[in-house]
Copies of this chain bind each other. A is one copy, B any other.
């Protein structure tokens, strides 16, 4: 899998941010409707949208609510690994279907691994037969989610401009 690159700022203007804001409310809004709302031509919207997608600034995707699909056990797992092989290990963990988010970080853990499981048995199975079977995983602490209080996919317009 591809490692997401954290670099290279792409410059965006007011119109770009308005397009993103509308698409964030409804990812399937037509270009005509967006154009109408903002007050520019649909062709310009399409052009802008295509550029934002190509440059990796924005993507429109379906997001599923795993709880609604009967996957009741979510957790963040703080993992300590053999750091000399950290990226290779992260790559192996990223392959597991239960993993939806994986970050390399500084501090008292090396990785945070966010997982979605059907129930506690599934989580136990993931921990023993998947995560801890990856060579180089040294220690892991599991934080089980009690409730998700906020989850947003785009930043507020003002932050995106500064």
Size category, A interface: 35 or more
A32 at the binding interface (Cβ < 8 Å): no
In chain A between 2 and 49, which residues have their CB closer than 8 angstroms to a CB of chain B? 3-12, 20, 23-28
Which chain B residue has the least Cβ–Cβ distance from A70? B9
Secondary structure call for the A interface: mixed
- Say yes or no: B61 contacts A65, CB within 8 Å: no
Which chain B residue has the least Cβ–Cβ distance from A12? B69
- A153 contact from B4, B25, B62, B69, Cβ within 8 A: B62
A34 CB to nearest B CB, Å: 11
- A149 contact from B8, B103, B109, Cβ within 8 A: B103
- Say yes or no: B27 contacts A144, CB within 8 Å: no
